[in-house]
Amino acid sequence: MILVGLTGGIGSGKSTVSAALAQRGAVVVDADAIAREVQQPGSPVIAALAERFGSHIVQADGNLDRAALAAIAFADADALKALNAIVHPAIGNEINSRVMAQVATDHVVVLDIPLLTENPREGLQGKIVVDVSEATQVERLVRYRGFDEADARARIGKQATREQRLEGATWVVDNSGDLDALVPQVDALWAALTALPQLPADFEMPQPKRRDADQSDRKSE
């Protein structure tokens, strides 16, 4: 297995680049998708949240009432800690098991983690940063995601800066152009990734050291 991280600001094109890598044969482990999956109706995470915060945080259809949960968690530091202590390990364990399922293969595993700069991880052989200007982020969030401009800017403002992200980059994908402009970059990236050494079959994922503060800023929320 070859194991790398992929990150970028909100709306920078992480999913687009991940999909292009998947087309070339990468196994993509998508932290956002996993975060949604572990909070599906009927999941142990929802049960634990309901036990801690009350059944009113679950809607009639079994989905989490995110607004009700946010109202509790963001008003009280202990509640936020408790929320993170339930949700983060569930996400971490699932990421871990998806990666470890690939350990004895020769696949390139791409861990797509939106907040990888904010929450660094050890054990990766390198970090792909999808880079765009803030203006492009805002424009795409408004055009494709239905954000209003102020909300888009506020979300971007809560994340690491472009410079902080680039500082830790092993490879940078410039997504300021059109989709065609990504193709040669992803081809070159894929060549670099597949040239990395294989990790040993007994590789173990170091567990991330998370901060207590809530780091969620996901499109699922």
Q: Any contact of residue 114 with ligand ATP (CB under 6 A)? A: yes
Q: Any contact of residue 185 with ligand ATP (CB under 6 A)? A: no
Q: Which is nearer to ligand ATP, 104 or 179 (CB)?
A: 179
Q: Any contact of residue 12 with ligand ATP (CB under 6 A)? A: yes
Q: Any contact of residue 5 with ligand ATP (CB under 6 A)? A: no
Burial 191-207 (b: 16+ CB within 10 A, else e): eebeeeeebeeeeebee
Gap between the Cα atoms of 139 and 149, Å rounded: 8
109 backbone dihedrals φ, ψ, rounded to 5°: -105, 125
Kindly state the number of chain residues that form the binding site for ligand ATP, as judged by CB under 6 A: 17
Q: Any contact of residue 16 with ligand ATP (CB under 6 A)? A: yes
- How far CA 135 is from CA of 8, 118, 152, in Å, comes to 14, 21, 10
Give residues 137-166 in contact with ligand ATP (rule: CB under 6 A): 140, 144
Q: Which is nearer to ligand ATP, 87 or 128 (CB)?
A: 128
Q: Any contact of residue 11 with ligand ATP (CB under 6 A)? A: yes
Smallest distance from ligand ATP to CB 82, Å: 26
Stretch that binds ligand ATP, among 12-20, 62-70, 71-79, 202-210 (CB under 6 A): 12-20
Gap between the Cα atoms of 12 and 4, Å rounded: 18
The closest alpha carbon to 128, from 173, 88, 164, 84, belongs to 173
Contact between 36 and 220 (Cβ < 8 Å): yes
Q: What residues make contact with ligand ATP under the rule CB under 6 A?
A: 8, 10-16, 32, 114, 140, 144, 175, 178-179, 182, 219
